[in-house]
Amino acid sequence: MATKSRPDRRVQRTKDSLHFALMSLIVEKSYDKITVQDLIDRANIGRSTFYAHYETKDDLLLSELDRLTADIERHLADEPSSTAILPSLGVFRHAAENHREIKALLGSKGSDLVQRTALATFTRRAEAVIDEREGDGKNGNLPADARAAFVAGALLALLTWWLDNDRPYPPETMANVYAQSLAPT
């Protein structure tokens, strides 16, 4: 009972093709100009096959985002958060390594959804760190939720700007800008 049946190869192939098609298309034109027709043409699958797996275009994008979010969260957790609330060096380095992909998703040609998702991820992490440090009472006068929105928004804006401008400075410089622009905690 409850036999763990392996996933059908055909399903895997279909999903892989669609992920690849989306990523290759989003480099070429902005996300909201991409149609389902574009996707199934590029992926070479039938129309009804697409709708058998995803409800909408955004649905496909969200499944892509799961990977991205997991990556980011890992980089946020790996690094010990030093002075800055959010440790940014790992994020910038990771973004540099996968800059084509991440710029396409996060940048001006990407989707609102990606920005919101990333902001939520950053904010969640920032709140956790702030709550953790609550004991030292160093910032008891400032509301924690607003501070979290601030540091998360600042990091996302900095990252987006950096990618959109084709990374004019190395990740180390960017992490410095981030850390040194923040008031010491």
Partner DNA sequence: TTCGGAATCGAACTTCATGTACGGAATCTA
Partner DNA sequence: TAGATTCCGTACATGAAGTTCGATTCCGAA
Q: Binding residues for DNA, per CB under 7 A?
A: 3, 5-11, 13-14, 35-37, 44-49, 51-53, 55-57
- Beta carbon of residue 56, minimum distance to DNA (angstroms, whole number): 4
Tell me the one-letter amino acid at 70: A
Distances in Å between the Cα of 39 and the Cα atoms of 10, 47, 62, 103 are 17, 9, 15, 19
Q: Which does 137 bind (CB under 5 to 8 A by kind): a second copy, DNA, none?
A: none
Dist. CA 56–CA 120, nearest whole Å: 22
Q: Which does 136 bind (CB under 5 to 8 A by kind): DNA, a second copy, none?
A: none
Q: How many residues does the chain have?
A: 185
Alpha carbon 32 to chain centroid distance? Answer: 18
Dist. CA 58–CA 86, nearest whole Å: 28
35 belongs to the binding site for a second copy (CB under 8 A): no
Tokens 């002075």 correspond to what residue?
83
Count of residues that bind a second copy according to CB under 8 A: 34
In this complex, which beta carbon is closest to DNA, that of residue 4 or of residue 135? 4
Site for a second copy in 121-150 (CB under 8 A): 142-143, 145-147, 149-150
Dist. CA 85–CA 184, nearest whole Å: 9
In this complex, which beta carbon is closest to a second copy, that of residue 48 or of residue 108? 108
Q: Using CB under 8 A as the criterion, which residues of the chain lie in contact with a second copy when the complex forms?
A: 108, 112, 116, 119, 142-143, 145-147, 149-154, 156-158, 160-162, 165, 168-169, 173-174, 176-178, 180-184
